[in-house]
Structure 1
Amino acid sequence: MKKISFVITSYNRKKLISNTIESIISQILFFDLCEIIIVDDASTDNTVDYLYLNYKEYIDNKDIKIISLEKNLGVSGAKNEGYINSTLEWVVFIDSDDQLLPNILEKMINVLTNTSLPLVFFRCIDQNNNFIGKKFNDNKTINIEEYLEYTSYGEALTAVNKNIVKEKPYITELRGYEGIGCSRIINKFGFALLSNLVARIYFVDGMDRLSVSSGFLKRMSLLSKGHFLMLKEFGKFMTFKNKFFYLIKAIAYYVVGNIYNFIKGNK
Structure 2
Amino acid sequence: KVYDAAGNLAGESNSLNAPGLTGRHENVVVRNPGPQTFKMVTANSFGAGTSQNVYGTVEATEVRLRATGDLAALPADQAAAAEKTILSSIMLAPGTRFLPSSPVSRAEFAGVLVRSGAVAQYMTANPAFADVRDQTTRNAVESVQCGSSGRLFYDASTSGYFYPNENATRLAAAIAMVKAAGLESSATSAVLPLSVSDAAAIPTQWRGYAAVALQNGFLSLDGNGAFAPARAITRIETASAFARLIGN
Name the TM tier (shorter chain): under 0.3
- Which structure is larger by alpha-carbon Rg, 1 or 2? 2
Q: Structure 2-normalised TM-score?
A: 0.25
Query: With CA pairs under 8 Å and 6+ residues apart, which has the higher RCO, 1 or 2?
Result: 1
Q: Structure 1-normalised TM-score?
A: 0.24
